[in-house]
Amino acid sequence: MTTLSYSSGTGTTPLLGDTIGASLDRAVAAFPDREALVDMASGRRWTYREFGRAVDTVARGLLAKGVGKGDRVGIWAVNCPEWVLVQYATARIGAIMVNINPAYRVHELAYALNQSGVRLLVASTAYKTSDYRKMVEQTQGDCPALQDVVHIGDPSWDELTAAAETVPADQPAAAQAGLSCDDPVNIQYTSGTTGFPKGATLSHHNILNNGYFVGELVGYTEADRICLPVPFYHCFGMVMGNLAATSHGACMVIPAPTFDPSATLRAVAAERCTSLYGVPTMFIAELNLPEFASYDLSSLRTGIMAGSPCPVEVMKRVVAEMHMAQVAICYGMTETSPVSTQTRADDDLERRTGTVGRVLPHLEVKVIDPVTGRTVPRGEAGELCTRGYSVMLGYWQEPQRTAEVIDSARWMHTGDLAVMREDGYVTIVGRIKDMIIRGGENVYPREIEEFLYTHPKIADVQVVGVPDERYGEEILACVIPRDAADEPTLEEITAFCRGRLAHFKVPRHLRIVDSFPMTVSGKVRKVELRANFAG
């Protein structure tokens, strides 16, 4: 009898019915003297008692500014403690935090502010080449809903916290008492490859539970210290990182404002972190540091890799050389809060390197034929769909675009091609739009990439389809060499593949590159690679 590609997650731990503020209150009460937050750049530290007070100060400051339940508060900043304080303060009083990508320029900022109706914006002043203050000034006249701007690290931030004194100390708790866990708490703009980004609207129930169960599956307790070089404006940082930490009384460690491989490993060593997060390209950068062996990473036991599938060879080094024997692979998307599947701490190396795990407790996943919508047998490729507490409320004020991805039965259609194995573990084989059709054969780039990662001259590789008159599409391998002085040739790669890959999967074109175009959440922009090399 055929087993269908459907799986539901079971577990003995029930879903949380709390708001994010109530969850934080529990952690403060249980672990008042344990460290909650450490910022390496500034040297500042907060215990849970101090962190709870700091959150309430920012919450009272927002109340003093007239921010109330349902009002949108934008956060446009690199990773810093104030980002985290705004996250929990808005949740405490029922405001909806709007995450704005720090890489946005003026027109993108204006779009996000207007589309979500941000009333108050908290922004960095400047970072590297970005003058946030100047860009905010350029948009203010075009954003009628925007009433107030607070810049982190300048007098306007001090004014916000000083304004807290005008609001009774019990007001945040009173505001929290009027909230439901199903209220919206967060809007995250997804980086679409075409058109304007969409504002995925997430509830307390969505993201608190997702952070909690991700943390449960990696075994977090109050003894854990989590190094977070991933961006807070994305679910990876603020949900899988911050909410996983606070729902277990663990400590959040910010190694630097943006990703820096040396700063990350310094933070792990100095703070004796037990967990480290990153997308595969981050781990590759850390492992390739000339001074990598000088860092004491022996405190690590776990961590999370997500954003894109991890090359097998990279995972082997992370386990062996970074001491992360229990590292988890997570898969998901912003619209699902974000994690749908995850490997488990006791999974063997094959499952940890060959799959993105199995469904989380209290969620469902299935793999369907993209044309007919029917669930395919296990072992066959199709579109991955997920359903349960994690599925977003919808795209902010865009019911039509919401209906395009969430069907009438509340299944979220991910757009990812996946295979569910007989054991229920899921392998992502690409995006529906990334699949290469060469001469009538469906080719999944991921399979070729995994194989080419084992070539001794290749440090990183991405495979895309480019137009071809004879076959419709041909296969192009974009390669970052291990040694710039010893680049692989197309002939070498062809010989390496011969007899080991089907002939129609062997790359016919090769481009040597220094880096890949990336989204800010760490995913390679294959659409840009195709455009660059289509000629």
Q: Select from 419, 445, 475 the last residue of a domain.
A: 419
Task: Say if 136 falls within a structural domain.
Answer: yes
What phi, psi does 282 have (nearest 5°)?
-70, -45
CATH code for the domain in which residue 286 is found:
3.40.50.12780
Q: Are residues 471 and 410 in the same domain?
A: no
CATH code for the domain in which residue 463 is found:
3.30.300.30
What phi, psi does 166 have (nearest 5°)?
-85, -5
Task: Say if 409 falls within a structural domain.
Answer: yes
**Residue 522: domain span:** 436-533
Query: Amino acid letter at 293?
Result: A
Task: Say if 449 falls within a structural domain.
Answer: yes
Q: Are residues 405 and 448 in the same domain?
A: no
Question: For the chain, how many structural domains are there in total?
Answer: 2
| Full DSSP string of 92-147 | HHT-EEEE--TT--HHHHHHHHHHHTEEEEEE-SEETTEEHHHHHHHHHTT-TT--
Instruction: Look at the block and give the residue holding tokens 């075009």.
Output: 142
Q: What percent of the chain has pLDDT over 70?
A: 98
Region 197-203 average pLDDT: 96
Q: Are residues 185 and 231 in the same domain?
A: yes
Q: Select from 361, 386, 419 the last residue of a domain.
A: 419
Q: Are residues 133 and 263 in the same domain?
A: yes
Q: Are residues 341 and 443 in the same domain?
A: no
Query: Does the predicted model carry a pTM greater than 0.75?
Result: yes
Region 45-60 average pLDDT: 98
Q: Are residues 405 and 472 in the same domain?
A: no
Task: Say if 127 falls within a structural domain.
Answer: yes
Task: Say if 5 falls within a structural domain.
Answer: no
Q: Are residues 388 and 455 in the same domain?
A: no
pLDDT in tens, 220-240: 999 999 999 999 999 999 999
Task: Say if 12 falls within a structural domain.
Answer: no
CB 37 within 8 A of CB 61: no
Region 315-343 average pLDDT: 96
Q: What percent of the chain has pLDDT over 90?
A: 82
Q: Are residues 70 and 105 in the same domain?
A: yes
Count Cβ atoms within 10 A of the Cβ of residue 398 and give its class: 0-12 exposed, 13-18 middle, 19 or more buried: middle
pLDDT in tens, 73-106: 999 999 999 999 999 999 999 999 999 999 888 9
Q: Are residues 245 and 391 in the same domain?
A: yes
Region 463-476 average pLDDT: 91
Q: Are residues 68 and 211 in the same domain?
A: yes
CA–CA distance, 491 with 434 (Å, rounded to integer): 25
Sheet holding 509-512, edge to edge: 458-468, 472-481, 509-512
Task: Say if 429 falls within a structural domain.
Answer: no
Q: Are residues 391 and 441 in the same domain?
A: no
CB 508 within 8 A of CB 493: no
Q: Are residues 119 and 246 in the same domain?
A: yes
CA–CA distance, 404 with 383 (Å, rounded to integer): 14
Task: Say if 287 falls within a structural domain.
Answer: yes
CA distances from 335 to 202, 263, 268 (A): 8, 31, 30
pLDDT surpassing 50 at residue 193: no
Beta pairing partners, 461: 479
pLDDT in tens, 286-321: 999 999 999 999 999 999 998 776 778 888 999 999
pLDDT surpassing 80 at residue 58: yes
pLDDT in tens, 129-170: 899 999 999 999 899 999 999 999 999 999 999 999 999 999
Q: Select from 419, 452, 470 the last residue of a domain.
A: 419
